[in-house]
Structure 1
């Protein structure tokens, strides 16, 4: 049903913009929610450059705290996982769960690491070098990060949640209305190709699910409140479908970025099962989230109407 509704839109876009133009539009949209970068930061973070060894401010630096993404502020590494590799760049033998995405370089020689939240280039990861018991070295550009000392006062900041529950239009519609939500993006997650298009996802050959990435203010709402809403705006008992939309892209799933989110999702599923629901929702670590095409964003705000396969049903 949804594909039929979009045929005309897709055709019009194909006639008026090339593929590269579509990608630029996506990047421009995302950049509105990122911190502005200097030219030096952009060279590394956006264009995948490398700062000179032994020049970064965090190379010989071992204070207690957390390292966050310079572009989006997402937490990446803990100081307790940092070690001296003598290579000239900050080295970590572990990342915060779900914070870093690994991608093989085009030449197949190295593995790039990027921020899972915004795709910012961090550096490369190397295995089996024997530096620590974990046998892993995240070689990270200092300029890609910002250090937050443990002694710094806690400030309200933006957090994110990723949910998949059928057509992303409907999930987006309800999440946008939730108090404390700052922004909702429709996109694709949990597949095995790069930069998927809507047509790729609909082919059922890429493994992607339609999902939404919800940015929220932790001082005004919390993850559990949004997760409860997620389970009440779609039917979590349906497998590879939601209402009239059928296929693996419409599966129900929670993609967690840390252990607290995982435990919350599992707790809510357990509560639903105690109530007699045969929950089919998957709980998986978040992988790279690819923002969907511009014409999929804020669908019901732009087009009017209400979701055709989502409705609120109190379950808790």
Structure 2
């Protein structure tokens, strides 16, 4: 199920929702140098890494880079500055400035501490060890992502590409059918709450596994049904379910392929249906087990 936004205090809402600014030299992360990751206070999305933080002496935390796809830029209400927001929830962070030559990257993200939370490197490592990943391709990744997000125990679902012969493919390149990539999702889940068998069953029930290189109106090799397994155990689980479906009379076209490099899709593809307030047009749940 989609994680709700965190509850904010009145002071936090003033900055994050109403685009206010905390007083300079008052934020907890202004003079702060611990290793880890800075996240959005409103939605917990990862925004900045500690290695990109620098001391600009401006009174607010400063970063010269962002986690790819984490930050949205908009022209500020004053018409001059560039506002920065969390790309996931549109929470106000601060402003970005270029040309100051304070670091080799020549960029300064000036961020309100109150817009941030922090996860230390040690805690981040421990948390990551608790999560597992799975890779499922079932046609357009928008619908697979949307329905996988509803499963309890799933922490995040990211749309992307896998299985091709080029690095860093773009959506247009994948659609050109020249790279060999397939649209798929990376599912991060808590094995204590949901197991791989349950996720794989759900995968077979939210798309039509009998379709060959298509799903609904979307046609092409990039829309193939496939499971990219990371272990022999995952492969055997998928084979078991395919055999069950075959025994039920389904002509399963789902490919089983070893996982390779996962390439995250462009940001506008992430949480597509949530952002656009729509429902999947070629995916729906149908009980098959």
TM-score by length of 1: 0.53
Relative to structure 1, the CA distance from residue 114 to residue 159 in structure 2 (aligned partners, 3 Å threshold; closer, same or farther) is: farther
Alignment match, 1:243: 216
**1:184-223 superposed matches below 5 A:** 216-217=189-190
Q: Residue 129 in 1 paired to residue 110 in 2?
A: no
Cα distance in structure 1, aligned partners of 2:4 and 2:131: 10
Indicate which of 154, 157, 160 corresponds to 1:181: 154
Residues 164-206 of structure 1 deviation map (CA, whole Å, 9 limit, x = unaligned): 9449556644x26767326889xxxx99xxxxxxxxxxxxxxx
Relative to structure 1, the CA distance from residue 135 to residue 234 in structure 2 (aligned partners, 3 Å threshold; closer, same or farther) is: farther
Alignment match, 2:65: 94
Alignment match, 1:62: 33
Long gaps (5+) in structure 1: 1-28, 192-210, 254-263, 265-271, 276-280
Indicate which of 64, 71, 91 corresponds to 1:120: 91
Alignment match, 1:296: 279
SS at match of 1:155: helix
Let me know the Cα RMSD of the aligned residues: 5.4
Indicate which of 112, 122, 127 corresponds to 1:141: 112
Alignment match, 1:202: none
Relative to structure 1, the CA distance from residue 107 to residue 292 in structure 2 (aligned partners, 3 Å threshold; closer, same or farther) is: same
SS at match of 1:296: coil
SS at match of 2:68: coil
Residues 99-155 of structure 1 deviation map (CA, whole Å, 9 limit, x = unaligned): 222223355422221222222111111112100001111110000001222244723
Alignment match, 1:155: 127
Contact 1:92 1:138 in 2 (8 A): yes
Alignment match, 2:265: 284
Contact 1:165 1:234 in 2 (8 A): no
SS at match of 1:114: strand
Alignment match, 2:250: none
Relative to structure 1, the CA distance from residue 178 to residue 91 in structure 2 (aligned partners, 3 Å threshold; closer, same or farther) is: same
Long gaps (5+) in structure 2: 159-169, 172-183, 225-229, 231-253
Contact 1:76 1:115 in 2 (8 A): yes
Relative to structure 1, the CA distance from residue 218 to residue 76 in structure 2 (aligned partners, 3 Å threshold; closer, same or farther) is: farther
**Structure with greater helix share of residues:** 1
Alignment match, 2:9: 38
SS at match of 2:117: strand
SS at match of 2:37: strand
Relative to structure 1, the CA distance from residue 46 to residue 283 in structure 2 (aligned partners, 3 Å threshold; closer, same or farther) is: same
Q: Residue 80 in 1 paired to residue 61 in 2?
A: no
Cα distance in structure 2, aligned partners of 1:218 and 1:103: 39
Cα distance in structure 2, aligned partners of 1:145 and 1:70: 5
Contact 1:182 1:217 in 2 (8 A): yes
Q: Highest Rg: 1 or 2?
A: 2
Contact 1:165 1:171 in 2 (8 A): no
Relative to structure 1, the CA distance from residue 110 to residue 72 in structure 2 (aligned partners, 3 Å threshold; closer, same or farther) is: same
In the alignment of these two chains, the number of paired residues is 231
SS at match of 1:44: helix
Contact 1:252 1:282 in 2 (8 A): no
